[in-house]
Structure 1
């Protein structure tokens, strides 16, 4: 009887447990999260994109402030308590806060549902495949033949901001007509909308809650 139970257990493991392990190994490990911005997970790959963007600004700051030049030890050297890599991380995080609150605002307005970086990367690959196929078929495409990661991120985010601004305009429009904007030209109205939207983003970014996954955050380096 005991032998039969052991055989039954082993057969269940082989057909289910082993299968689940294989499926997990095929999909690979989940991407690391470096931080949470208002409970929205920041993928390590997304943070890396912004960290790399901060390289030139950081190097310029340390050159101007401390007359420090780039070297093999530059990024981990302390200059009167300031370390370049830590400065770059903070700049990346500050910029990410501005971007993320706008993405979350888009989600609040029902303009987007999935903000994961994995989905972004899948969409990037699909778009480049579409462009490659269109070129082979002699079809007209607008923009580059292929997007790099930063270029596609900028393209997607810029288009999203336009949609968010339109939704923001509807949400904040005075009841009963644009009485506050009467007499203004279309250009003046647009500038007023841009200023109001920028103030909204600033407020959201200032009030944002950030939680770092410290061991991932500390190991981030420029690439």
Structure 2
């Protein structure tokens, strides 16, 4: 019973955190390892457990998502699906060692890009560098990252949206959760086919993650923008420190 409670609390918290910024994996993965699930299986099981929470979180932002251009949304979904599949397949045929070194730098860069969003957008307007809104290549690269390594996907997506020129945090969060669900769904299907998921724990945690995702979406809608930005940046910096510490 104690182990079950631990998994449920971790999954609910992960749903809330993923809805607001991303990083819920850092609650579910340690919880699974703590109750005795082997690390590799815990990683796959964690991915399965949290991905339904993205859908419930996206539902909490359905008004914002509905305001997006449908053609652009469909294109972004297709690109995310393909990128997530490529990333998931790469995980099955490659080692985590090299990527583990790259991850903290990616997270720190993504957090910095989000934190200095206004300055970056000013540089883009001044022609210092350009980022194509809803650009295929940038989104594909992020989707591959998410399919290969889900940790911090939300932060990376928010940073990409900031470079696209998006400023409405609720809109950014809605699109982030929708695309995170697509990216995670295809990679989770890959893990399931490979047979590396502990389904009993995954399904139990998925229920809690769904509830947490919806609760987090509602919380994000009422938090003041400065608080939301501070939470997102804080989570990004914390994840960066954690991964640097593991080098």
The structure with more helix, counted as a fraction of residues: 2
The structure with the largest alpha-carbon Rg is 1
